[in-house]
Amino acid sequence: MTRRRGPEWSAAVVGAIGAWLICASATLAASPSPDPIVGDPRSSGQGPGLVGDPLFALLAVIAIGVGSVVATLVYVRMTARRGE
């Protein structure tokens, strides 16, 4: 027994597409013309440097790595087939 896609299905698709087109609106975006930049927008002749706390970021990356290793080992131990 196969299912037939009748007029109900196509009417639903046409209705969904119509509602999507009716609800579509113009979007606002930035102007495509570039703004005039005067001088260096960063600091006086230097690069931006380090922003935030790099030690915290390093520790967070290490903690995520160790956590993923531990989670993987726990998963492997729990799903290992025993007695084969």
Residue pLDDT, tens place only, 73-83: 999 998 887 76
pTM: 0.41
pLDDT reported for residue 73: 95
The gap from C-alpha 70 to its chain's centroid, in whole angstroms, comes to: 25
Instruction: Give CA–CA dist 71/77, Å, rounded.
Output: 10
Q: What is the pLDDT of residues 1-27, one digit of tens each?
A: 556 666 677 888 888 888 888 877 766
Is 67 in contact with 59 (CB distance < 8 Å)?
A: no
pLDDT reported for residue 21: 82
Q: What is the pLDDT of residues 40-75, one digit of tens each?
A: 555 565 556 667 788 999 999 999 999 999 999 999
pLDDT reported for residue 18: 85
